[in-house]
């Protein structure tokens, strides 16, 4: 029994350790989770489901309608027998059954154009979903890179703090040996406190970046959340095309452009639907009915006989077929007003399409300019870091032999730390803008 209990405890403890361990999220896992949970994406899907319902309804309008009816009544006093159309004074009950059907043969092609309009709305809705997904992808990319940047910033801060701590120990020994004054030690310790504060600040920024990413993923905040850190090479120059070439490419792959174009076409179809109301309408209808009345008898008035329910229904069956033509003459300007509204909506849809293209063009132009500036800044930051690092290493040697005082050494050290930070920011800014420009051309974002 003790052995069994011990095994249970060990298994339970192992499960707790497994659950407690955090598994690093890859970029694709973050993205898939966000796309699955994002409310805007799901709402856009539901909106398109409504478009599909409207499409199915417009298709069904071509099918003949069919309805049935049944009525039961009890009559008292003087009434008309529905089976004989004669007055009766006795109390009786009557039953009526009917079935009717109708079909629109022509209504100015309104049904056809409505189907085309709703089909375009469904297709536009599909691209609207992709547009919302693209927004989520860009947000997750930004959040993910912010976490990666925060990780590297924390690593640099820890390295700086460790380097300063080593300088404190070294300076302490030099002060003890009488090689440098105690003021140098105080200066180094002051820098150590500053570096320790920088570590705490970097850790806080990392925590906030993780929170932002988890919120974008629509998952609860977890302390053990972590992301996988990919191996980044130095960014390469992707400005092999002009911004106009990138824009022309994006026009063929960005879903918001296709959606706007389809919505313009749908608005033009809505105009045709409104204009169809000016045409005559041709309808056909057919119905069949039968009735029963308990007051009706067979035979003569002298020798009446009962008239069974089903026999009477069979004998009283009646059919009709009709065709109707409706010609609009004057509708208190409703048709004209609907056409005017449809024209304005079509013009507005065309303007929205052009505005969507303009926004895309401006965004590409801005990102293209930003990417070019980020590339220059990244190269300049690398050159700056190389020069500052050489100066820092030289000043470190001078400080260790007592040739350079602590203040001048700290100036060089802080300059080196700032140069590292500048390069880190330039690197991730360059990476982000490179990914965005590739994304506009229809390339998937991957890390």
pLDDT in tens, 107-141: 999 999 999 999 999 999 999 999 999 999 999 99
Find how far residue 430's CA is from the centre of its chain.
26
66-70, 173-177, 261-265, 379-383: range with lowest mean pLDDT? 173-177
Output the six-digit token pair for 80: 């008309």
Domain spans in the chain, listed from the N-terminal domain onward = 21-63+107-279+328-440
pLDDT of residue 294: 77
* 3-state secondary structure string across the chain: CHHHHHHHHHHHHHHHHHHHCCCCECHHHHHHHHHHHCHHHHHHHHHHHHHHHHHHHHHHCCCCEEEEEEEEEEECCCEECCCCCCEECCCEEEEEEEEEEEEEEECCCHHHHHHHHHHHHHHHHHHHHHHHHHHHHHHHHHHHHHHHHHHHHHHHHHHHHHHHHHHHHHHHHHHHCCCCCHHHHHHHHHHHHHHHHHHHHHHHHHHHHHHHHHHHCCCCCCCCCCECCCCCCCCCCCCCCCHHHHHHHHHHHCHHHHHHHHHHHHHHHHHHHHHHHHCCEEEEEEEEEEEEECCCCEECCCCEECCCHHHHHHHCCEEEEEEEEECCCCCCCHHHHHHHHHHHHHHHHHHHHHHHHHHHHHHHHHHHHHHHHHHHHHHHHHHHHHHHHHHHHHHHHHHHCCCCCHHHHHHHHHHHHHHHHHHHHHHHHHHHHHHHHHHHCCCCCCC
Mean pLDDT over all residues of the chain?
86
User: What is the Cα–Cα distance from 82 to 62, expressed in whole angstroms?
Assistant: 35
**Top-confidence range, 13-27, 188-202, 352-366:** 352-366
Rounded to an integer, the average pLDDT of 348-358 is: 96
CB 433 within 8 A of CB 234: no
- Between CA 286 and CA 102 the distance in angstroms is 6
pLDDT at 248 over 80: yes
Q: β-strands 318-326, 281-293: how paired?
A: antiparallel
Q: Which residues pair with 290 in a beta bridge?
A: 97
Query: What tokens does 19 get?
Result: 């659950």
Distance between CA atoms of 411 and 403, rounded to whole angstroms? Answer: 15
* Choice between 397 and 321, residue whose per-residue pLDDT is larger: 321
Answer positive or negative: Cα dihedral of 294, 295, 299, 303.
positive
- The CATH number of the structural domain formed by 21-63+107-279+328-440 is 1.20.1600.10
Residue matched to tokens 């974002």 = 445
Q: Is the pLDDT of residue 384 over 70?
A: yes
**Helix pair angle (110-176, 406-440), 10° resolution:** 160
What is the Cα–Cα distance from 196 to 160, expressed in whole angstroms?
Answer: 9
pLDDT computed for residue 9 by the predictor: 37
Q: How far is CA 93 from the centre of its chain?
A: 62
pLDDT higher at 282 or 18: 282
Count Cα neighbours of 312 within 13 Å in the Cβ-side half-sphere: 20
Q: Which residues of 176-203 are buried (b: 16+ CB within 10 A; e: fewer)?
A: eeeebeeebbebbbebbeebeebbeebe
Which pLDDT score, from 0 to 100, does residue 238 have?
61
Distance separating alpha carbons of residues 35 and 153, to the nearest angstrom: 29
Of the listed ranges 247-256, 304-313, 353-362, 429-438, the one predicted with least confidence: 304-313
Burial class (CB in 10 A: 0-12, 13-18, 19+), 45: middle
Is pLDDT of 77 > 70? no
pLDDT for position 235: 67
- Which of 330-339, 395-404, 428-437 is the least confident region? 395-404
Let me know if 382 is exposed, middle or buried by CB neighbors in 10 A (0-12, 13-18, 19+). middle
* 21 pLDDT tier (thresholds 50, 70, 90): very low
């Amino acid at each position: 029994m003790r052995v069994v209990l011990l095994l249970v405890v060990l298994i339970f403890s192992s499960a707790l350790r497994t659950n407690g361990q955090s598994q690093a999220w890859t970029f694709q896992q973050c993205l898939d989770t966000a796309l699955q949970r994002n409310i805007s994406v799901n709402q856009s899907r539901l909106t398109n489901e409504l478009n599909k319902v409207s499409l199915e309804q417009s298709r069904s309008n071509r099918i003949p309608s069919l309805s049935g009816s049944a009525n039961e009544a009890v009559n008292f006093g003087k009434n008309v027998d529905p089976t004989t159309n004669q007055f009766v004074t006795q109390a009786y009950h009557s039953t009526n059954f009917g079935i009717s059907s109708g079909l629109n043969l022509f209504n100015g092609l309104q049904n056809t154009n409505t189907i085309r309009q709703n089909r375009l709305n469904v297709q536009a809705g599909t691209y609207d979903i992709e547009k919302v997904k693209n927004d989520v992808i860009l947000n997750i990319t930004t959040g993910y890179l912010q976490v990666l940047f925060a990780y590297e910033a924390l690593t640099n801060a820890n390295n700086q703090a460790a380097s300063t701590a080593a300088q404190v120990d070294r300076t302490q020994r030099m002060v003890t040996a009488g090689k440098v004054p105690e003021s140098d030690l105080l200066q180094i310790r002051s820098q150590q406190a500053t570096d320790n504060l920088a570590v705490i600040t970097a850790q806080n920024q990392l925590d906030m970046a993780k929170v932002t990413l988890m919120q974008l993923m629509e998952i609860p905040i977890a302390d053990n959340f972590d992301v996988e850190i990919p191996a980044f090479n130095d960014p390469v120059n992707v400005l092999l095309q002009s911004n106009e070439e990138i824009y022309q490419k994006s026009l063929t792959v960005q879903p918001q452009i296709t959606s706007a174009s389809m919505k313009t076409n749908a608005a033009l179809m809505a105009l045709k639907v409104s204009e169809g109301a000016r045409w005559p309408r041709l309808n056909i209808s057919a119905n069949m009915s039968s009735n029963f009345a308990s007051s009706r008898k067979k035979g003569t008035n002298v020798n009446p006989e009962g008239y069974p329910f089903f026999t009477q229904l069979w004998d009283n069956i009646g059919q009709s077929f009709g065709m109707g033509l409706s010609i609009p003459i004057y509708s208190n300007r409703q048709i004209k007003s609907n056409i005017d509204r449809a024209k304005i909506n079509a013009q507005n849809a065309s303007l929205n399409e052009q505005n969507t293209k303009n926004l895309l063009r401006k965004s590409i132009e801005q990102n293209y300019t930003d990417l070019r500036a980020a590339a220059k800044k990244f190269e300049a930051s690398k050159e700056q870091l190389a020069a500052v690092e050489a100066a820092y290493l030289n000043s470190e040697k001078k400080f260790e032999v007592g040739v350079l005082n602590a203040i001048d050494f700290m100036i060089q050290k802080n300059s080196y730390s700032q140069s590292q930070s500048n390069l880190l920011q330039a690197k991730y800014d360059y990476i982000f803008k490179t990914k965005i420009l590739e994304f506009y051309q229809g390339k998937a974002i991957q890390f």
